[in-house]
Amino acid sequence: MKIEQFEDKGLAHYSYAILSDCAREIVLVDPARDPQQYYDFAKQHDAKIVCVLETHPHADFVSSHLEIAQQTGAVIRVSKLLGAEYAHEAFDEGDSFMVGKLTFRALNTPGHSPDSVSTVLSREGKDVAVFTGDTLLIGDVGRPDLREKAGNMTAKREELAKQMYHSTREKLMTLADDVLVYPAHGAGSLCSKATNSANSSTIGAEKTGNYALRPQSEEDFVKELLADQPFIPKYFGYDVDLNKAGAPDFAPSIAKVPRLDADAPLAAGVVVVDTRPEAEFKKGHAAGAINIQQGGKFETWLGSIVGPQESFYLLAADEATLTDLIQKTAKIGYEPLIKGALVGTSSTQETMPEIDVEAFRQHPENYTIVDIRNASEVKAEPLFAGALNLPLPELRERVGEIPAGKPVVVHCAGGYRSAAGSSIVAPALPGTTVLDLGEAVESFQTAGAAH
């Protein structure tokens, strides 16, 4: 037996291939959008993919479960509660199947979603591992507030939080302490508040080290779990629906993205996502362009700023970066929304001035300060008295709340988000100077990490 973990750092996502040595057969758990890594694994081990398990219809990424099933003949197993629109076998509590000497059995563990299923892997009668999806993470549990308007079932966040309390205690914590825990996400995922960077654990270690598993009342658990959850990106509900239906094949879908010449005219009214470094962007860009820089979490911020009902142009500094960004865009299922992808920018008519940091430091009262960090970050470390807090995911909708009349300074915690934020604010306040504090914000901080 071999358990292979695949990591997508940008989305803090883990997927798995479980190989039966004797049967030369593979079971996949929560595969990412690009299936090639799983095909390579199967070829490397001269094995056949026979099953894809989806722990739930994911909100933060698009799965390749349908493509893999159609390419390999593997069966997809999901909870009947999910309401899957593709061919599948129901896999709920009481159900199990064997691959070689390995047994996979389902545990319904609602909480993150109503249709969440954890899968226990046993070998010759002994439980070895449990694949917990977004139910039990390392040092945390999944957030229970993502499905109120999405998916086949709806549930209020408090009801899901109560279900999480019972799923963890009555299902997962009853497993043996040495059972390995393999979650679908690590630190940095917006599917939880998790900060532990470990990629696996054991039931015993989680019982002693996970705050969500300590002895406490259901009421206290619900209150603590629902407090200070991260924001919900615009694309989450879209991805739930896409995963429930099954996404189009990865490679053919990204091949359909229109490629444009650098000087191609851009249609008016269409969002322009300019991914070039902020210094280049500020020297010249198309009117109204949003500067979402190439980076480790590009896809998350794209799906947080641009909604799934919008189309957009995608601009990159070079061809290799553009190809990479199209693939990242496909990870959240946004590739059909790209109206055109091009290297460079078709216009440099708009510029943004550099901030005089010392002048700002001496007289911050002369500026309107816009803090685009999340409310929980502001609460943990307020930086400027009187700053207007408009979190980046809400900024396009709330930019009208920023008063004109004084220069505007936009800041986040490290400079990445403020580049995007200032590019959103500037065209909304014509005639007002808009400045990006950028990385200089760190000289005003007493603690905290860059974002």
For 173, phi then psi, to 5°, come to -75, -10
pLDDT in the model for residue 108:
98
DSSP 223-264: HHHHTTPPP--TTHHHHHHHHHH-PPPHHHHHHTSPB--TTP
pLDDT in the model for residue 232:
87
DSSP 107-141: EE--SSSTT-EEEEEEETTEEEEEEEETTEETTEE
pLDDT in the model for residue 184:
96
Can you tell me whether residue 369 is helix, strand or coil? strand
Structure tokens at 314: 């995608």
Residue 240's nearest CA partner among 138, 89, 114 is 114
pLDDT in the model for residue 147:
63
Ramachandran quadrant class, 155 (left: phi over 0; alpha: psi -120 to 50; beta: rest): beta
- Give the global pTM: 0.93
For 200, phi then psi, to 5°, come to -160, 170
CB atoms within 10 A of CB 145: 18
Q: Are 210 and 168 in contact (CB under 8 A)?
A: no
Residues 6+ positions from 169 with CB-CB distance below 8 Å: 213
Q: Are 414 and 450 in contact (CB under 8 A)?
A: yes
Sequence letter at residue 71: Q
Cα 282 versus chain centre, distance? 28
CA distances from 76 to 2, 70, 87, 114, 242 (A): 20, 10, 7, 19, 16
> DSSP state, 348?
-
- pLDDT by residue for the chain (451 residues), tens only, comes to 999 999 999 999 999 999 999 999 999 999 999 999 999 999 999 999 999 999 999 999 999 999 999 999 999 999 999 999 999 999 999 999 999 999 999 999 999 999 999 999 999 999 999 999 999 999 999 988 776 555 455 568 899 999 999 999 999 999 999 999 999 998 777 776 767 788 999 999 999 999 999 999 999 999 999 888 888 899 999 999 999 999 999 999 999 999 999 889 999 999 999 999 999 999 999 999 999 999 879 999 999 999 999 999 999 999 999 999 999 999 999 999 999 999 999 899 999 999 999 999 999 999 999 999 998 899 989 999 999 999 999 999 999 999 988 999 999 999 999 999 999 999 999 999 999 999 999 999 875 444 4
Dihedral angle at the C-alpha atoms of 233, 135, 26, 64, nearest 10 degrees?
-20
97 beta partners: 104
Can you tell me whether residue 221 is helix, strand or coil? helix
